[in-house]
Amino acid sequence: MQGQLLSGRYRIIAPLGRGGFGQTYLASDLQQAGHPQCVLKKLQPVSQDVGALETARRLFEREADVLYKLGNHPQIPNLYTHFEDAGDFYLVQEFIDGNCLSQEFSHRYCTEEIKIFEWLKNILPVLGYIHQQNVIHRDIKPSNLIRRKSDNRIVVIDFGAVKEITTQIINRDSHTTFTIAIGSPGYIANEQMAGKPRFCSDIYSLGILCIQALTGLHPQQLPEDPRTSEIMWRDKANVSPGLADVLDKMVRYDFRQRYQSAVEVWQALQHVRVDANRPPSLATRLPEGKTTNVPVVGLPHTPGGEKYRKLEQFLATRQWREADRETNQLMLHLAGRQHKGYLRSEDIHQFPAAELCTINNLWVAYSQGRFGFSVQHRLWQNLGGSKTAQQQLFCDFGAAVGWRALHRWKPYAELNFSLDAPPGHLPACFAHDELKFGCAGTVWFVGILLERWYQGQLTSPIAPPPLPPIPGQIPTITSDLPTATLVEVTDTDTVADTMVKPTAVDRPTFTTGLVTDKLKTAVTTADRLQIIKGDITQLAVDAIVISTTPSLFGGVLCRVVHRTAGPELMREVQQIKPGCQPGQAVIAKGYNLPTRWVMHAIVSSWFRGKESSGEILASCYRNCFALTAPYGINTIAFASLGTGGFGFPLHIAARIAATEIKQFLDNNQSLEKVIQVCFTDDAYDAYLAAALEIIFGC
């Protein structure tokens, strides 16, 4: 096809290879100035039958929509367009100039663990984003991970979702079946091989890839334990125990024993101490000239030595998300609070002024004046900010820096980690938890820092050279602040209390942020509560709780759970059914579900103005909690009990749930996590609002 013109626009330059999509070509776009290069992927269904083509066309359109959405991430190629030509389907994607990760595997030496750590930190956020879009990649392997030359970041390519189009068989009735499990031998998890991939299937593939790099063995060469089917690899790699433990859990044979999300892996890595000096296996030393550092050119001199080097590297390569997280870790380290994971008000009082200014100046310099605490301070002042500011001002500030929109605080995952973000958007480093409530905690934290800037007019005596501002951006502003010493702020707690009540409650945890003693109870409770939108039948927790009737089979969700668990669940509950009353809770095994136990909360239908309806629902929660200790339950997930066909208004059911959950968690330490699972956006908003009101009183 070389030289061929497709769609009157795309000229084939050369073939790039054949993969899961079919043939891939390098092409030029003749309708764009300069004829930029792009990637043209040709998908050819196995059958040209009319019915087959129509089914393939429908799948193609569906998956193209997915790729359009995924392309909003900077580490996923943009899908420019798609079209059909002579029964073949074509995707036109962004061309990524770089090398696949397999080229970083040494032929003589196994990969150093510090590089494995860098890979994971680079790839996990992308996987997290993909999974948040309800997409499973299904083909994570070295050749589908490209190190982009322009910024040194790893880009994820070649999504397995679209491979369905090329691997299907369509019978005469145009019914579709799939003959093979999508994925690559060695990197594919057993449940994916059976045609039932899960989010943790991608976690498995990434873990196997890392083990391959550490051992120098292809995944198909790795031995398995004949009794457990677990991969036996530790004796073939020189790796620290902490990282090995994480990788082991990533590649468990039973998907229920794996990390269930990229966020869980990321959180586990925060507790791993990687030995940068540990030599790779199969060698006593690295070859001459080999380095593990990410190359960064032109870093300004920074006082304080190596402790800022990683932050500088991330900022210099415009890895803003990684820089934000590193800022968090660095500040915790400087305050001596890395073992706790959060800062207190007294830590802010005693935080070294020069260190704070150095961090700020690095952000300001590398962002051309767009990001930094001092930028946030300028915006705060322009809005009339002060330590006595009221709630609306904090909301206005959140909107100004892009942390708040449409009367809601954004979760961390929705922040904009690029120079297109509003001025002052970063750092937002104390709002890390993507699966939790949002950025208001950062407003609180920044508010206290800004009060220190206001009181002390902090500026660093050693600042990096100012860079010329980009048109339309805020110029570097540290140089126009007078040099002054830090003034002790005696009423920081007053500032914190003013800010926390209306704003910091958007998050169920402050374990990566700032807390005061007055909030300890609320914070402890919130740290063990998670509100998510999802499918409760997919959660690998100790127990799930669903609404039902005294028959133990009433309600749509109850029937779905029973169908998923298998007939054994019905047989077990039928033996329990006689004598069940509203307000009680009945426990049974999970069988084919990923959960160990299924609790049936027997609720009654909602009757307006009838207090007993609400009391019965509250009793369901209490009786469910009463079952946790006897059955060794540490994690429990509640559906939206009483809603749907049972008729409870969302806001009432949510308030009852939040009240009972708070009451239990405030007075009991036995549960590690309570998860409220919402199936719709409306339910999520209602349960979130109730948690904010009941737990934090705002």
CB 695 within 8 A of CB 658: yes
Three-state SS for 448? helix
| DSSP-assigned letters across all residues of 260-323 | SSHHHHHHHHTT----TTPPPTT-SSPPTT---SPP--SPPP-TTGGGGHHHHHHHHTT-HHHH
Q: Which of 29, 139, 202, 506 is catalytic?
A: 139
Residue 26, phi then psi, degrees to nearest 5 = -90, 130
Residue 226, phi then psi, degrees to nearest 5 = -65, -20
CB 1 within 8 A of CB 140: no
Taking CA atoms, 105 is separated from 100, 110, 216, in Å, by 10, 7, 8
Query: Annotation-wise, does 41 bind a ligand?
Result: yes
CB 656 within 8 A of CB 618: yes
Q: How many CB atoms are closer than 10 A to CB 220?
A: 9
CB 467 within 8 A of CB 369: yes
Q: At what angle do helices 199-215 and 262-269 cross, to 10 degrees?
A: 40
Q: In the structure encoding, which two tokens stand for residue 344, read together?
A: 């207190």
Q: Buried b vs exposed e over 63-90: b needs ≥16 C-beta within 10 Å? A: bbebbeebeebbbbbbbbebeeeeebbb
d(CA 167, CA 319): 37
CA 299 remoteness from chain centre: 30
CB 674 within 8 A of CB 628: no
d(CA 302, CA 172): 70
Q: Buried b vs exposed e over 431-464: b needs ≥16 C-beta within 10 Å? A: bbbbbbbbbbbbbbbbbbbbbbbbbbebbbeebb
d(CA 368, CA 135): 36
Q: In the structure encoding, which two tokens stand for residue 364, read together?
A: 């300001």
Which is it for strands 597-602 and 585-589: parallel, antiparallel or unpaired? antiparallel
CB 476 within 8 A of CB 466: yes
CB 68 within 8 A of CB 78: no
3-state helix, strand, coil in the chain (%, to 5): 45, 15, 45
- Residues in contact with 115: Cβ distance below 8 Å, sequence separation at least 6, in sequence order: 104, 213, 292
Is 254 catalytic? The answer is no
CB 123 within 8 A of CB 47: no
Give, as one character, the DSSP assignment of residue 554.
Answer: -
Single-letter amino acid, residue 225: D
CB 687 within 8 A of CB 654: yes
CB 20 within 8 A of CB 160: yes
Which positions are catalytic?
139
Specify binding-site residues: 41
Specify binding-site residues for ATP: 41
